[in-house]
Structure 1
Amino acid sequence: MKDISATAPTAEFIDVEMQGRSAIIRLNRPELRNAMNDQMRQELIAAFEWADRSPEVRAVVLTGAGKGFCSGGDIGGMRERLNVPQGDVAYNGWNRQKQTHRGVAAIHGCTKPVIAAVNGAAFGLGLDMAMACDFVVAVDGAKLSMSFLKRGLVSDGGGMYFLPRRVGLSRAKELILSSRVVLADEALSIGLVDRVTSADDLINTCMAWAEELTQGSPAAVALTKSILDKTFESSDDEVFALGRQAQAICYTTKEHRESIEEFLNKADSKA
C-alpha cells in the first residue's frame, strides 16, 4: 500500500488508499451503512477530484466500509426536511440536489476507469453512485434496489439516466416503479452489474480488472471514455468528429510516439 497522506484529501467519512496504480475510495460510515450526508458528499467530490488530477492514479475503485456499499441518503437529512419551514423546503432541496449531482458527475466524469466494488446493499442513491461508475462488481448475495418511490421520491442521483443504459428502458421502468430488491445473481443476468464474486475476492478482483483497463496511455483512455459516454446522445457525425479531435491529440503524446518508434524498430530489425 502506497503512502499518499501528503497528497490525498483528509476526510472524516471518506478513506483513500493506493494499491498499485489504483486508488481505493471507501465510503466510511459503516455504522449507518455508509448513508450519504452533506459532509460526505463534499468529501467524495474532493476525493474524486484528487484522483482525477493525480498522475499516479490510473484507475479508481469505489467501495464501502463494513457490510454495505451505501444505503442511500442519510435519514438525518430526511428528518431535517420535515422540520424546515414550508417556504424553504424547495430551495433547500434544490441546493442539496446540486451537491448530489456534483458528486455523481465527479464519479461519472472521472478521466480514469472507475469500478464500483459493491460489497453489500446498494439502495437508492447508493445504487445510483454504483451505476455512475464505468463498471460494477458485486459480492454474492448483494442487494440492490431503486428504492426512491417507497419514500415518495424520484431517483435523484442519475439513476434515470444510467439505469436504462444498463438494462434497457422497459426493465428500468420496472425496477424503478416496483422499487423491488434485486440480488446479485439476477443483477448480473440483466446487466445491472458486470461481475459477481465472493466477499473475500472483491477488492482483488477489482484491482486485477483495473490493471487490465490501464494498459493504454492516460490520454487515450480519458479521451475514449469521454467519447463513449456521449454516444447514446450523439449522432454518428458527432462521434466521428470527436474521434478525429481525440486522435489528433493522441498523435502528439509521448506514449504514442514511443509505441510507434518501438514498433518501427522491430519492423526494421526483421527486414
Structure 2
Amino acid sequence: MTDQTPHGTPSFAHVEIEMRGSAAIIRLNRPEVRNAINDQMRQELIAAFDWADRTADVRAVILTGSGKGFCSGGDIGGMRARLDAPQDEVAFNGWTRQKQTHRGISVIHGCSKPVIAALNGAAFGLGLDMAMACDFIVASQGAKMSMSFLKRGLVSDGGGMYFLPRRVGLSRAKELILTGRVVETDEALAIGLVDRVVAPDALLPACVAWAADLTQGTPAAVALTKAILDKSFESSDEEVFALGRQAQAICYTTKGHRDAVEAFLEKAGPST
C-alpha cells in the first residue's frame, strides 16, 4: 500500500499525492463514486497525512478530489455491510469504525502544516466534515455542500458539530445540520462556510499560491502558532498566554529564528 514512487512520495490505491513546489496535494481518488470514503481510503488518507506531516520538504497540504466531486461522504456500500452484520455486533463494529473516522479527521485537523481544502465539486456529509477539518476552504464556482447526515438517519460523525459552529455560528450551524439542505458557493462564501471561491480551472493554482503565502514563516513558528490558535476558543486568556510563552521559548532555540534575526540586522546595517 505504501510503495515509494521515484519522487519519494508514497503510492496508494485510492489516494494520490502530488508535489507542487513545497505543497503536497493529497487527492481522494475514487471518482466513480464521487470519492466516497471506504475503509481502505480512510487508512490511506491517514497514512498520506502522516507522511506529509513528518516530511520536511512539505510545507503545506492541499486536500482535493479526483473527477467531478470533492467527496460525497461515507460509502453507502459500507453502510449496507454494517447493517447486515449480526445485531449483537452492530454497535461495537460501529464504535470501532468511528475510532478510525475520528483518527482520519484528527490527522487533518492536527497536521502541523497549513491545510487547505480545495473543493472541486460536491462536499456532502463526511466530505464536508473533512473539508472543515482543514484550516482553510477554497471552493470552485459551482461546488455544492450539504450536512446530509440526518437524511440517512445519522448524526454528523466527522467533527462537523464542532467545526461548523466555529465557521458559521451556532444558530446557522443548527439550521444547516437539521435541514441537510444544499448550500451553493455564493451563500457558502457569504456565511463563512468557505473562505474563497475561484473559477474551476484556477482552483489548484490559487490554493498552491495561497499555501506559499501561508508558509513564509519558519516551520517551527508556523506549527506552534497553528497549534495554539486551534485551542484558543476552548482556552482562557491565561492558558493561551502560557502556551505562547512555551512556544516562544522553543522558537528562540531554532536556527530559523537565528537566521531571520541575523538577516534583518545585516539588512538594517549598524545601529547609530
Pairwise TM-score range, normalised by the shorter structure: over 0.9
Q: Percent identity?
A: 74
* Distance in 2 of aligned mates of 1:78 and 1:19: 36
* Distance in 2 of aligned mates of 1:260 and 1:222: 19
DSSP-derived class of the 1:117 partner: strand
* Distance in 2 of aligned mates of 1:59 and 1:198: 22
Contact preservation (8 Å) 2:185, 2:197: yes
The residue aligned with 1:187 is: 188
Matches within 5 A, 1:15-26: 15-26=16-27
Matched, 1:91 2:92: yes
The residue aligned with 1:263 is: 264
* Distance in 1 of aligned mates of 2:94 and 2:201: 39
Contact preservation (8 Å) 1:123, 1:146: yes
The residue aligned with 1:249 is: 250
Letter in 1 for 2:234: E
* Distance in 2 of aligned mates of 1:109 and 1:56: 18
DSSP-derived class of the 1:207 partner: helix
Letter in 2 for 1:148: F
The residue aligned with 2:74 is: 73
Letter in 2 for 1:97: Q
The residue aligned with 2:47 is: 46
Contact preservation (8 Å) 1:4, 1:18: no
The residue aligned with 1:14 is: 15
Letter in 2 for 1:80: A
Matches within 5 A, 1:114-153: 114-153=115-154
TM-score normalised over the length of structure 2 = 0.97
* Distance in 2 of aligned mates of 1:213 and 1:233: 24
Unaligned runs of 5+ in 2: none
* Distance in 1 of aligned mates of 2:7 and 2:96: 32
DSSP-derived class of the 1:200 partner: helix
Letter in 2 for 1:137: V
The residue aligned with 1:208 is: 209
Letter in 2 for 1:267: A
Letter in 2 for 1:152: G
The residue aligned with 1:219 is: 220
Shift, 1:4, TM fit: 5.7
Contact preservation (8 Å) 1:15, 1:25: yes
Contact preservation (8 Å) 1:4, 1:17: no
Contact preservation (8 Å) 2:5, 2:11: no
* Distance in 1 of aligned mates of 2:144 and 2:7: 36
* Distance in 2 of aligned mates of 1:33 and 1:58: 28
The residue aligned with 2:34 is: 33
Shift, 1:259, TM fit: 1.0
TM-score normalised over the length of structure 1 = 0.97
Unaligned runs of 5+ in 1: none
* Distance in 2 of aligned mates of 1:263 and 1:28: 45
* Distance in 2 of aligned mates of 1:6 and 1:183: 38
Contact preservation (8 Å) 1:104, 1:158: yes
Letter in 2 for 1:14: V
* Distance in 2 of aligned mates of 1:73 and 1:111: 26
* Distance in 1 of aligned mates of 2:267 and 2:79: 64
Contact preservation (8 Å) 2:143, 2:185: yes
Letter in 2 for 1:219: A
* Distance in 2 of aligned mates of 1:225 and 1:190: 23
Q: Which moved more, 1:260-269 or 1:54-63?
A: 260-269
DSSP-derived class of the 2:201 partner: coil
Letter in 2 for 1:64: G
Matches within 5 A, 1:159-198: 159-198=160-199
* Distance in 2 of aligned mates of 1:265 and 1:51: 34
Letter in 2 for 1:56: D
Kindly report the root-mean-square deviation, in angstroms, between the aligned alpha carbons of the 2 structures.
Answer: 1.1
* Distance in 2 of aligned mates of 1:6 and 1:198: 30
Shift, 1:5, TM fit: 3.9
Aligned residues: 269
Shift, 1:6, TM fit: 5.1
The residue aligned with 2:64 is: 63
Shift, 1:267, TM fit: 3.0
